[in-house]
Amino acid sequence: AQKVTQAQTEISVVEKEDVTLDCVYETRDTTYYLFWYKQPPSGELVFLIRRNSFDEQNEISGRYSWNFQKSTSSFNFTITASQVVDSAVYFCALGIQGAQKLVFGQGTRLTINP
């Protein structure tokens, strides 16, 4: 069975601090896909990144970076120099080739205080 664990239910930091959101996944499949979504207070779910299991290169997009480590089954998300606009709930998700659905974590609520 597949599972995604986001152990941090809530995180609160002061603006400009760096913050890392953890995502640990479980699967026995060798081909799988990992996703991060952002849900700001307005409610929509915004796609951030997709990574396949064969690409372990870390990714950087502006202040966002993702660290994929198969050895620890983790796909962590770091925001550098956080801003108030980064306040949102962030979801990590796992997709298995041939599966019927994505498996979502429970989400981490991130609050950036001015």
Partner 1 sequence: DAGVIQSPRHEVTEMGQEVTLRCKPISGHDYLFWYRQTMMRGLELLIYFNNNVPIDDSGMPEDRFSAKMPNASFSTLKIQPSEPRDSAVYFCASSLTSGGVGQETQYFGPGTRLLVL
Residues found near partner 1 in the complex (CB under 8 A): 32-33, 35, 37, 42-47, 50, 52, 91, 95-102, 104, 106-107
* Alpha helices (runs of H) in the chain, residue ranges in sequence order: none
Closest approach of partner 1 to the CB of residue 16, in Å: 30
Beta pairing class for 32-39 and 46-52: antiparallel
Closest approach of partner 1 to the CB of residue 15, in Å: 27
| Closer by beta carbon to partner 1, 82 or else 91 | 91
Structure tokens at 13: 């930091």
| Closer by beta carbon to partner 1, 40 or else 78 | 40
- Asked whether the CA dihedral 43, 111, 5, 74 is positive or negative, the reply is positive
